[in-house]
A and B are shown apart, each in its own frame.
Chain A
Amino acid sequence: MVRERIRLYFSLIKPLQTGLLLTTGLAGYMSARCPLFNLGTLLEVAGSLFLAISGSTLLNMWWDRDIDAKMGRTCRRPLAAGALSPTETLWVGIALSLLGIGWAWWVFPTYGGLVLAGWFFDVVVYTLWLKRRTCWSIVWGGVAGGMPVLAGRSLGVGHVDAIGILLALAVLLWIPTHIMTFSLRHLEDYQTAGVPTFPARYGAATTRTIISISSLLAAVAITLAAILLGMAWGYLRLLAVLSTGLVILAVGAWFRPTERVNFSLYKYASLYMLAAMLLLAL
C-alpha cells in the first residue's frame, strides 16, 4: 500500500525532468571547484533541490489535474486518473516545498533565496498565473528551470556570478525546446484542454524556428560559460563536438522542419544539456 503510493508520487514528480534539473543544480555547485569531496554539502544540495523541485512539480500537477484529465498524453497520470487524492497531493506538495526551501535556506541564504525564487516562478507565476492565459508563460517556466543551476553555482562561489547567469540562461533557452516540441506533437490535446500554445498562436513554422534558435543560443550560452569557467581543453573539445551536433540538428530543423527532425532535436537537446552539465561538474 505505502509502496504503491510512493510509486504513484514518484511518477507524479516527473523523475526524468526532476533528475535533469537536479543534475543542473549539482553541476552548478561542482562547477565552482569547491572541494569535490565535500560530500556533506553536495548531499545537502541534492536533498534540498530534490525536495523543492518535487514539491513544486506536485503542486503543478495538483493545479493542472483538470487539464491533464482532458489530454490523451496526461490523462493516465495518478491525479488525473483518480489514483491519488488531490487534497493529499496538495499537502504533500506543500510539505516537500517547505522542507526543500527551508533546508536550502539553512544551508546558505543566497542559495535558499534562489531555490525559493525558482519555486515561486514555477508554481505562482508559471502554473497559477500565466499557463492558462498566455503561451509566453513558458518563458517564466524557463526562468524557474534555470534557478537550480544558478542556486548551485551561487552556493559554490558564495554569490551570484556571470557564469551562473549564463548557465541559467542556457537552461532557460533549453526549456522552450522541451515544451514547444511537446506542444507541436500534442497540439490537439492542448487545444482541447484550452491551454494556449505557441503553435496555436503563431503557427508550427514559427514555433519550429523558435525551437531551432533557442537550441542554438543554449549551446552558445553553455560554451561561453565553459570558456569563462576555464574548462580543461579536452573537455572543451568534447563540448564543441556535442555543440556541433546540436547546431547541425537545429539548422536542419530550421531549414527542413518536420516533426521527426524536431523530435530528434528535442531528444538530442536533452542529452546535450545532461552531458554539458556533467562536463561542467568534472
Chain B
Amino acid sequence: MVSLTLTSRSNRFVLLLAAALAGWQIAHGLPEGTPLPMVAYTMGFGVLLLACLWLFLMGLEVLEHPLVVVVAALVPLSFSLGLVGEYWPQGMTVFIPFAVVGLIGIAYSRMGKLSSRLGVLMVALVHGVAGLVILGVPVWAVGQGLARPGVLGISAGGAWIGLSGLALLGQRLRWISGKMDDVTRLLPWSLLLTLVFLVIGFNLR
C-alpha cells in the first residue's frame, strides 16, 4: 500500500522553506525591465510555490490529480521561455509557438484525446526541449559574456528538477524498481534543492 501522506515534520518544514524561497524570489528577485521574461519566471516560481504549499497542506495525494502533468510542464516551459526571452530574444518567434503548442498538446493528451504513446511522446518532447534550453542557455550566456558564472545555478536547478521528474515518471511507469515511497519521500528535498539552485542562479548571474 502506497503511503500518500507527508506526515514527517521535517518534510513539511522543508516544503515551507522551499515555498518561502520561491515566494522571496517572486517578490524580490525578478528582472523588472523585461515584461515577458518576468511574467515567465513568475509563472515558473509561482507553480513551484503553489506545488510546495499544496503538498504541505494536502500531502502527496495531490500528485494523483490528472492535471498535475500539465501543471508540471509549466515549470520547464516558463523558465525556458524566460531564458530565451532574456538572452536570445530573436528565438522567441520559434519558442513561444513551441511552448503554446506543447502545453496544449499535453493538456489534450491528458483529456484522453491522444493515444497514450503519443501523450508520453508529447510530454517527453516538451520536457526534453525545455530542459535542454534551461541547461544550455545559461552556459551559452556565460560563454558570450552575457552573464556571470552564477547563472549556471539555473542550469543546475533545471537539471535537478528534470531528473526528479524523470524519477517520478519512471516510478509511475515502473521503470524504477522499489517502493513508491522511496522516490516520493525525497520530493520535498528535491523541490528545496531545485529552488536553492534556481535562487543562486537568479541572484548571482
| Chain A contact residues: helix, strand, loop or mixed | helix
A241 near B42 with CB under 8 A, answer yes
Known: A241-B46, A244-B46, A245-B50. A235 touches B57 (CB 8 A): no
Q: Which residues of B contact A248 (CB under 8 A)?
A: 50
Partner of A271, one of B27, B32, B53: B53
The docked-state distance in angstroms from the alpha carbon of A234 to that of B22 is: 12
User: How many A-B residue pairs lie within 8 Å, measured between CB atoms?
Assistant: 43
Interface set, chain A 261-282, CB cutoff 8 A to B: 264, 267-268, 271, 275
Task: Give, as a whole number of angstroms, the nearest-CB distance from A257 to chain B.
Answer: 15
Q: Which residues of A contact B30 (CB under 8 A)?
A: 234, 237
Q: Is A255 an interface residue (CB 8 A)?
A: no
Q: Which residues of A contact B57 (CB under 8 A)?
A: 264, 267-268, 271
B50 near A234 with CB under 8 A, answer no
Q: Which residues of A contact B49 (CB under 8 A)?
A: 241-242, 245
Interface hub of A237, A264, A268 (most chain B Cβ within 10 A)? A237
Q: Is B58 an interface residue (CB 8 A)?
A: yes
Q: Is A238 an interface residue (CB 8 A)?
A: yes
A residues contacting the other copy or chain, number (CB 8 A): 18
A268 near B53 with CB under 8 A, answer yes
The docked-state distance in angstroms from the alpha carbon of A242 to that of B49 is: 8
The docked-state distance in angstroms from the alpha carbon of A237 to that of B45 is: 11
Q: Which residues of A contact B58 (CB under 8 A)?
A: 260, 264, 267
Known: A233-B32, A244-B46. A238 touches B54 (CB 8 A): no
Q: Which residues of B contact A235 (CB under 8 A)?
A: 27
The docked-state distance in angstroms from the alpha carbon of A233 to that of B53 is: 22
The docked-state distance in angstroms from the alpha carbon of A234 to that of B46 is: 12
Known: A264-B58, A267-B57. A237 touches B27 (CB 8 A): yes
Q: Which residues of A contact B46 (CB under 8 A)?
A: 241, 244
The docked-state distance in angstroms from the alpha carbon of A245 to that of B26 is: 15
Interface residues of B (CB under 8 A from A): 23, 26-28, 30, 32, 42, 45-46, 49-50, 53-54, 57-58, 61
Q: Which 3 A-B pairs have the closest CB atoms?
A: A241-B46, A234-B27, A245-B50
